[in-house]
Structure 1
Amino acid sequence: MNSLSTASWWTSLRGRAATGVADAARVRLLVFPHSGAGPNTLLPLVEGLPAYVEVLGLSLPGRERRFGETPGCRLDQVLDSVSDEVLVRDPLPTVVFGHSLGALLATRVGGLLGPQCRAAVVSGQMPGRSRRPAHATTTDEDAVRLLLLESGGTPAWLLQDPVMLEHITCALRADIALSREAAVGFEDVRLDAPLYVLGGTSDPLVPHEPLDGWASHTTGECRVRRFDGDHFFLLAQEHRFEVADILRQALVVEF
């Protein structure tokens, strides 16, 4: 891990067309991608949000513009990045949104934000102490194999590219360690904000039956929505509009 890196952890997902949007922003969305991915993976879900929403995505080492860095970080580094790069910006009501590993990180960050966190949208992740398949595997190699081959989200070309396969395997191994750290004591994390929970009915990594247990992670309302599909149901063309609409609902706050 390159602990001396000064690269920014957070980047705008609004694109060039939204230049100047941050100046008029009235609400902020923090986006936390899944294991092995960068925030642009979730761009199809956020690119149509209203212009008054400032959208920032978390880039872990070894992803997208940080591709040249060695993958791997600790939970406290993720939390510190929020303090160092997000909380120093203009204070805005904030919604956190994460998928899989990102759901664990989003919930942790929601707790860090306190009253500034107005809602959380979590997807493809187990609540509380629920058994997580990638954590229960015998070795890291088994966990990586599970995420690569059984999640439903790995493109065939990547498995045929030795260089990219080695890089994504390294990133997944690092993210499994991060997710295990984020899951320690997770059952005690509780937000004072509405919680929107999304899951796939055919997800091989996250059974949908325990998703109602997410209610224990909030003192507010908990809405659970199950979609047909595997671990990456939210990026399926037929579900993108509804997932984006749930984000819009979460972003409705009193200004």
Structure 2
Amino acid sequence: MSEHRIRLFCLPYAGGSARLYQQWQQALPDTVEVWPLELPGRGSRFGEPPYERLEPLVDDVVAAVQDAQQRSDLPFALFGYSFGSVAAYEAALRLEAVGRPPVSLTVAAFRSPAAAPPATSRASLPDAEFRAVVGKLGGTPRELLDNDAFMAMALPVIRADLRIADTYGHRSGPPLGCPVAAFAGADDPLFAVADVAGWARHTTEPFTLHVVPGDHFFFHSHQEQLCKTLGAALTAHC
């Protein structure tokens, strides 16, 4: 008999796939069922074009969550990393509006929706410059960055994700009615701790800020600490 008492839907950073979360079922408590969501253009949905607008992306995430919840109606939480934070937050708003709210939302390595987006999107850069930017972000191993065939497949997906992330701004509406937790990298060059702390404005329930050592990709460098902290918080919702 399953010991799961809460389901965690996970969304990746720009260009990432559900495989990013393949170790999390072992890293999180047995009471947590890890449910990575695969987005178009990657992994098992490689043949589908990636979304370049927010609305269809959120439609996709909400539909996936609702389908999973029909199979087994566990309490559920949402987790998004960087670009994934946008999709997770907007999906949480939509699900709450239809009476199917998450018990919590966790975001990581992304600015508060109230913060102004950058003046220009990285997605508009020419291919050579965009590839250089992706390299500097630090989330792609050097052997893949140097693989032209791989980058030819990956860059359109990353570009589409960043087009959504870089143009995202909070739209009018009520804040979430569930607790929100946010993780920030202490040395993140993209989003300072203060940028991430602004998520406190987007919930009427308790807000918790966790500062983790590392840069923008503390997801990899400090994953054990991230999962330990997240697991403790999720257990409290069981």
Same fold, judged at TM 0.5 (above): yes
* Secondary structure at the counterpart of residue 31 of structure 1: strand
Residue 252 of structure 1 pairs with residue 231 of structure 2: no
> Deviation of residue 108 (structure 1)?
1.0
Q: Which residue of 2 aligns with 1:164?
A: 150
**Residues 18-167 of structure 1 correspond to what in structure 2 (within 5 A)?**
21=2, 25-88=4-67, 89=70, 90-114=72-96, 116-133=101-118, 136-137=120-121, 140-141=124-125, 144-145=130-131, 147-167=133-153
The secondary structure found in structure 2 opposite 1:116 is: coil
The Cα shift of 1:188 comes to 4.6
Q: TM-score, normalised by structure 2?
A: 0.84
| Residue from 197, 217, 225 that aligns with 1:242 | 225
Match for residue 15 of structure 1? Answer: none
Counterpart of 2:206 (choices 214, 221, 225) is 221
**C-alpha separation in 2, matches of 1:243 and 1:232:** 11
Change in Cα spacing, 1:69 to 1:95, as seen in structure 2 (3 Å) is same
Per-residue deviation, 1:51: 3.5
Q: CA deviation at 1:147?
A: 4.8
Q: Does structure 1 retain, via aligned residues, the 8 Å contact 2:103–2:237?
A: no
> Which consecutive residues of structure 1, in runs of 5 or more, have no partner in the other structure?
1-19
Evaluate the alpha carbon distance shift between residue 108 and residue 240 of structure 1 in structure 2; reply closer, same or farther with a 3 A threshold: same
Letter in 2 for 1:215: A
Deviation track 1:76-98 (CA, whole Å, cap 9, x = no partner) reads 33333344333242322111101
Structure 2 counterpart SS, 1:251: helix
CA distance in 2, matches of 1:230, 1:83: 30
1:166 is matched by which residue type in structure 2? A
- Tell which deviates more after alignment, 148-157 or 75-84: 75-84
Please list the CA deviations of residues 187-206 of structure 1 after superposition, one character each: whole Å capped at 9, or x if unmatched.
75621111111111221221
Aligned residues: 230
1:209 is paired with a residue whose SS is: helix
3-state SS of paired residue (1:59)? coil
Give the counterpart letter for 1:78 in structure 2: L
- Distance in 1, matches of 2:19 and 2:50, equals 17
In structure 2, relative to structure 1, the CA distance for the partners of 1:235 and 1:31 (3 Å cut) is same
In structure 2, which of residues 186, 191, 208 is the aligned counterpart of residue 206 of structure 1? 191
Q: CA deviation at 1:138?
A: 6.8
Letter of the 1:96 counterpart: L
- CA distance in 2: counterparts of 1:84 and 1:211, whole angstroms: 27
Query: RMSD value over aligned CA atoms?
Result: 2.6
CA contact (8 A) 1:132 1:206 kept: no
Deviation per CA, 1:218-238, whole angstroms, max 9, x where unpaired?
A: 1111111112211101221xx
Q: 1:139 to 1:175 in 2, by over 3 A?
A: closer
Task: Note if contact 1:60-1:73 (Cα within 8 Å) is conserved in structure 2.
Answer: no
Asked if the contact 1:201–1:226 (Cα under 8 Å) also holds between the matched residues in 2, the reply is yes
Unaligned runs of at least 5 residues, structure 2: none
TM-score normalised by the chain length of structure 1: 0.79
Deviation string 1:21-48 (CA, Å, 9 cap, x unpaired) is: 4xx6421111000000102113334433
